A and B are shown apart, each in its own frame.
Chain A
C-alpha cells in the first residue's frame, strides 16, 4: 500500500496567518491527491482534489500544490472556522490511503 506521511501532526496559527501542511507519498501518485477538513464530531469534508482543484463551495484561501511524491495544502489568512483536523488521501493505487492527519488550532 502507498504510505502517506503527513506533517506536522499539530499546528497552532494566529488569525490571518498563512499556514502549510505537507503530505509525502511513499511513491509517485501523479497528483491523485485530495485534502479533507474534519471538525470535531463531524464527517470529513472535501477541500481539494487532483492536488490543486478547489472543491465547489470551498473558500479561495485554501489551495493545494505539488507533484510526484510531495504535496501541500496552504491556508492563506487563517480564520476561526479553519480549526480542525486535515487529512490528505491518495487515489493513485488501490487501496486508497490517508495521511495520519494534522490538528490545526488557533494560537
Chain B
C-alpha cells in the first residue's frame, strides 16, 4: 500500500533552516511527482511546489521560491524540502503528497514546524 512517511516535528530558531523528509513506499517512486503543501493555523492550505523524482525538475509557487528547496534521493525513495531563513510565519504543518490525476491522492502524516527562540 502507498505510504508517505514524514520526519518528526521540528523546533527551530528564527533565521535557521530545517530540512524535512518524506519517505515513499508501496509504489514506484519515480513514477509520480511529489508536492509539498503548507497548512497554517489548522485551516488554510497553500501549495509550495513539486518535484519530479525521476528528473529532479522542480516547480515552485512564486510565494515560496526563496523559501523552499525541493530535492530527492532516488536511492532511498525519499523527497526532501529545506526551508530557509525561518520566521514565525513559517510555523505550520507541512505535508508531502503524491500527485494523482489532477489531484493529490496520497498524503504524508504531516510535520509540525515551530519557529521560536
Contact = CB atoms under 8 A, between A and B. Distances in A.
Contact of B45 (A44, A49, A91): A44
A95 interface: yes
Interface stretch (A17-25, A67-75, A96-104): A96-104
A85 B105 CA distance: 17
A34 B104 contact: yes
B45 A98 contact: yes
A46 B105 CA distance: 6
Contacts of B35: 96
Interface centre among B44, B45, B100, B105 (most CB of A within 10 A): B45
A interface residue count range (under 10 / 10 to 19 / 20 to 34 / 35 or more): 20 to 34
B47 A97 contact: yes
A45 interface: yes
B110 interface: yes
B109 to A, nearest CB: 6
A89 B107 contact: no
B14 interface: no
Given A43-B107, A43-B110, A44-B95, A91 B102 contact: yes
The interface residues of chain B, by DSSP majority, are classed as strand
A50 interface: yes
B103 to A, nearest CB: 4
Contact of A95 (B47, B95, B101): B47
B59 A43 contact: no
A43 B103 contact: no
A101 B102 contact: no
A50 B103 CA distance: 8
Interface string B33-65: 001000000011111000000000001011000
A103 to B, nearest CB: 9
Interface of B: 35, 43-47, 59, 61-62, 95, 97, 100-110
9 contacts: A34-B102, A43-B110, A44-B45, A46-B103, A46-B104, A49-B100, A55-B103, A87-B45, A96-B47
The 5 closest A-B pairs by CB, nearest first: A34-B103, A49-B103, A43-B107, A98-B45, A91-B102
